[in-house]
Amino acid sequence: MKVLSVNAGSSSLKFSLFEMPEEKELICGVFERIGIDNSFYSLKLNDQKIKKEISLADHKIAFEILINELINNNIISSLDEIKGIGHRVVQGGAYFKQSALASPDNMRIIEELASLAPLHNPPAITGVKAAMEVFKNATQTLVFDTAFHQTIKKENFLYSVPYKWYTDFGVRKYGFHGTSHKYVYSKVNKLIGNDDTKVITCHIGNGASITAIKNGKSINTSMGFTPNAGLMMGTRSGDIDPTIITYMLKNKTMTVEELENVLNKESGFLGISEFSSDSRDIEDGIESGNEKCILAQEMYVKRIVNYIAKYYVELGGCDAIVFTAGIGENSIKTRADVINKLYALGIKLDKEQNNVRGEERLISTIDSKIPVYVIPTNEELIIASDTYAMIK
């Protein structure tokens, strides 16, 4: 059975097509600058990369072009071969504890939740509606970043603000990157040969979150009410004293929207280094002696270490630590900096094993008290697997 995984942005459409249940990826790619000048799309097929410039007025046209590519490359012979389409949805609130069908009622709920994820839910809705127009006979599903974290208990997901903020406005920790944390947790269990585990998963990319998982359930996670909580990130501030917000509004002429933009798009690596939001550029800056890049890296690593230590205590020990996502999979330096600061937990880095990018590998020494792994994430496969399960 062929299942398509989709991640729609406001001007982009990322996709992967899988043969299920074999979990074989047939093709993947992304349409970019949808509705903008100079739009294009790129495909990866049989280890070959293809890029084409073409006008992309909207997401529906992107899907129609995708169908033509699938047919022209002999991946499908007709549209009806694609039985399911799974859509990534960032914010499912407290309504969805698992993936769900894209029914009218469920679509209405994610539209209502758009205010909690204004940059993510509306584009996802656009993607679902466009897919429904093109793939009229396929089962459409919604796979939520937040669903995996719905096992977190109230003492961990509530904030110490008036309780009515929770009941009346939904103010609580939701957590994100759930599909990624779920995927690498299942992979590390296979590596250590045990399902009854306590694992700390570190999804470290331009957006970043750390999750404590016990026996398959998320018990705490660093992101909160929005994805701008927890760790310092590429352009996001992460945790700050909330009074800073009111202080800056009183002392600097800016609107709430402008301040929100600063905290989401001008902070983190970019804000501290005043150089770049990209970890690779930060590392280059460190090599050249840029003091602000050095400071940004030190702050970044410190916050990752603090969350790992916190969750180690909360879990009552740990069977494994996993690094994943862009920086987690590819930054040899960041992994080393973090692990070397965890020596008090008996964790030891194998420098030779850590010299790896984008590959699954054990990077701690044999005598390390906690094994540390690099595991490339595959959120698209989780989306396809959940969609396949609902069809079956």
Would you please indicate which residues are annotated as catalytic (active-site) residues?
145
Residue 289: other Cβ atoms inside 10 A: 8
Which among 335, 306, 178, 293 has a CA at the least distance from the CA of 239? 306
Burial bucket for residue 338 (CB in 10 Å: 0-12, 13-18, 19+): buried
The backbone region for 215, taken as left when phi is positive above 0, alpha when psi lies in -120 to 50, beta otherwise, is left
At 133, is the secondary structure helix, strand, or coil?
Answer: helix
77, 2 in Cβ contact below 8 A?
A: no
Q: At what angle do helices 332-340 and 291-315 cross, to 10 degrees?
A: 60
Instruction: List CB contacts of 148: < 8 A, sequence separation 6 or more.
Output: 175, 178, 179, 181, 182, 218
The token duo for 220 is: 């705490």
DSSP state of 222: S
Residue recorded with tokens 């069908």: 101
Rounded distance, CA 235 to CA 321, Å? 25
Q: What is the DSSP string of 139-175?
A: EEEEEETTGGGGGS-HHHH--SS-HHHHHHH--S---
Rounded distance, CA 78 to CA 67, Å? 9
